[in-house]
């Protein structure tokens, strides 16, 4: 064989290998079923990472498993039926009533905060209301964790992501904890703030009115604590969309739950510990998306709590560096609709619910009786 023919054969073999090698690898990665869906590849990746579970972890997992993805979605849908629920509108008032009735349908006693709000450009205050429900602790009813989301929105759409997604998350945790056989040593309060979009007025009113009532038994000797002592506050605001920045069509491959605390606050140490508890819970109990922790919590209802008690916020993105720089094109827009989001998006919010419930169930010592 002349040297030139040999070289030609070698060249053909090389081209053949170069062309088919990546296809062979790709086929191997896909397995026999063809290309996996994005949700399947998330499950394959998993966030659990083989973390071994103790018996105590398994008991917490039983509580986290009470959360239901379809129920979470249907609660978001229910809220979006009231449109953007902008404060001061009849659709806002109707949504507050619906939230209260839904919480009561699961067996909760509810209460309302009444406060005055002065609309922009007006010099007359108007009355506003927001609702909360409480799971009363069986052995330590005088202590509680607060879980929050804001039920008001803006933008003339349905405020599905901002913040039906966080409101429904808190409601879905309330629904799960109302399941038969669930007990909790400490109390948990589910707070569905109003007037977040106008400057956190609902959460501020709660802190102003109730801070000094903490831990007081009323009436004396009754065993009832209308305002249990605050142990921590976990806020949920914009939970679905992490499509990267610049924004892509689907959930980004590195989509995650962002847990933020405020380093520049009186309770930074305790807040970082609470954030860490949530991070560990995510590793243990979240099924599809990881969580990361950072220290610049801002513009959310946990702000009024941050100098008083451990306070953290869960979001689809970091508020200042990502959301504030255009990471969500539907933010406060008419396109913030239920139909804008896919199951991959809803699942990010659901993973945040798993993250919060896993951490808080441990902190309040919740159990399911078998
Ligand atoms: Zn919001």
Q: What is the pLDDT of residues 311-343, one digit of tens each?
A: 999 999 999 989 988 899 999 999 999 999 999
| Ligand 1 geometric centre to CA of 147 (Å) | 15
Owning domain of residue 156 = 51-368
- H helix intervals, 37-156: 38-45, 55-64, 69-80, 90-105
Tell me the pLDDT tens digit for each residue of 137-191.
999 999 999 999 999 999 999 999 999 999 999 999 999 999 999 999 999 999 9
CA–centroid distance, 327 to ligand 1, in Å, is 14
User: Distance, CA 361 to ligand 1 centroid (Å)?
Assistant: 25
Ligand 1 centre and the CA of 13: distance in Å?
59
107 in a structural domain: yes
Cα of 165 vs centre of ligand 1, distance in Å, is 9
Number of domains composing the chain: 1
DSSP 224-257: --SSPEEEEEEEE---S---TTTT-SS--TT--E
Q: How far is the CA of 250 from the centre of ligand 1 (A)?
A: 21
Answer whether 161's CB lies under 8 Å from 240's CB: yes
The answer to whether residue 43 is domain-embedded is no
CA of 242 to the centre of ligand 1 (A): 15
Average of pLDDT values for 293-309? Answer: 97
Does some domain include residue 179? yes
pLDDT number for residue 31: 37
Q: Is residue 27, in this structure, part of any structural domain at all? A: no
Check residues 212 and 25 and name the one with the higher pLDDT.
212
Q: Is the pLDDT of residue 17 over 60?
A: no
- Residue with the bigger pLDDT between 352 and 320: it is 352
What CATH number does residue 96 fall under? 3.40.630.10
Residue pair 326/245 in contact by the 8 Å Cβ criterion: yes
Instruction: Tell me, yes or no, whether 19 lies in a domain.
Output: no
Compute the mean pLDDT over every residue in the chain, rounded to the nearest whole number: 90
Asked if pLDDT for residue 11 goes beyond 70, the answer is no
Q: What is the mean pLDDT of residues 91-100?
A: 98
Kindly give the distance from the C-alpha atom of residue 196 to the centroid of ligand 1, in angstroms, as a whole number: 7
Q: Tell me, what's the pLDDT at 40?
A: 54
Centre of ligand 1 from the C-alpha of residue 210, in Å: 23
pLDDT of amino acid 279: 96
- Neighbouring-strand partners of residue 248: none
CA–centroid distance, 1 to ligand 1, in Å, is 75
Quickly state the pLDDT bin for 52 (edges 50, 70, 90): confident
Output the CA 166–ligand 1 centroid distance in Å.
8
pLDDT(77) > 60: yes
Q: How many CB atoms lie within 10 A of CB 351?
A: 27
Going from the Cα of 246 to the center of ligand 1, the distance in angstroms, rounded, reads 21
Is residue 349 scored above 80 in pLDDT?
Answer: yes
Residue 71 lies in a domain: yes
Task: Please tell me the distance between residue 217's alpha carbon and the centre of ligand 1 in angstroms.
Answer: 34
C-alpha 74 to ligand 1 mean position (Å): 19
Please tell me the distance between residue 198's alpha carbon and the centre of ligand 1 in angstroms. Answer: 10
Structural domain contains residue 229:
yes
Distance CA 215, CA 230 (A): 8
* Interval 159-172: pLDDT, tens: 999 999 999 999 99
The answer to whether residue 46 sits within a structural domain is no
Contact in structure between 178 and 108 (CB atoms under 8 Å): yes
**Cross-strand pairs, 101:** none
Tell me: pLDDT of 39 over 80. Answer: no
Q: How far is the CA of 169 from the centre of ligand 1 (A)?
A: 13
- Dist. CA 141 → ligand 1 center (Å): 30
């Amino acid at each position: 064989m002349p040297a030139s023919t040999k070289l030609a054969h070698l060249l053909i073999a090389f081209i053949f290998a170069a062309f088919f090698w990546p296809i062979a690898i790709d086929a191997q990665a896909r397995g026999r079923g063809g290309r996996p869906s994005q949700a399947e590849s998330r499950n394959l990746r998993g966030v659990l990472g083989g973390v071994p579970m103790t018996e105590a972890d398994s008991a917490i997992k039983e509580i986290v498993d009470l959360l239901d993805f379809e129920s979470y979605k249907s609660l978001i849908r229910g809220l979006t039926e009231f449109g953007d629920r902008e404060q001061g509108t009849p659709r806002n008032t109707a949504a507050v009533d619906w939230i209260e009735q839904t919480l009561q349908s699961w067996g909760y006693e509810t209460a309302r905060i009444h406060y005055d709000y002065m609309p922009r450009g007006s010099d007359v205050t108007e009355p506003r209301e927001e609702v909360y429900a409480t799971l009363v602790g069986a052995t330590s009813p005088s202590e509680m964790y607060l879980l929050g989301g804001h039920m008001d929105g803006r933008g003339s759409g349905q405020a599905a992501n901002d913040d039906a997604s966080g409101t429904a998350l808190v409601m879905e945790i309330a629904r799960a904890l109302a399941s038969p056989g669930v007990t909790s040593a400490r109390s948990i309060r589910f707070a569905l703030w109003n007037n977040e979009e106008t400057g956190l007025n609902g959460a501020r009113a709660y802190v102003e009115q109730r801070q000094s009532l903490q831990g007081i038994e009323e009436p004396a000797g009754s065993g009832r604590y209308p305002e249990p002592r605050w142990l921590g506050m976990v806020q949920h605001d914009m939970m679905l969309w992490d499509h990267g920045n610049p924004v892509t069509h689907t959930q980004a491959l590195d989509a995650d739950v962002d847990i933020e605390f405020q380093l520049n606050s009186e309770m930074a140490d305790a807040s970082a510990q609470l954030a860490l508890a949530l991070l560990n819970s995510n590793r243990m109990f979240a099924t599809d998306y990881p969580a990361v922790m950072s220290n610049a919590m801002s513009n959310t209802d946990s702000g009024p709590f941050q100098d008083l008690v451990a306070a953290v916020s869960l979001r689809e993105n970091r508020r200042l560096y990502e959301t504030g720089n255009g990471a969500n094109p539907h933010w406060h827009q008419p396109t913030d609709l239920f139909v804008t989001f896919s199951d991959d998006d809803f699942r990010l919010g659901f993973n945040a619910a798993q993250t919060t419930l896993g951490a808080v169930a441990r902190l309040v010592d919740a159990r399911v009786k078998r």
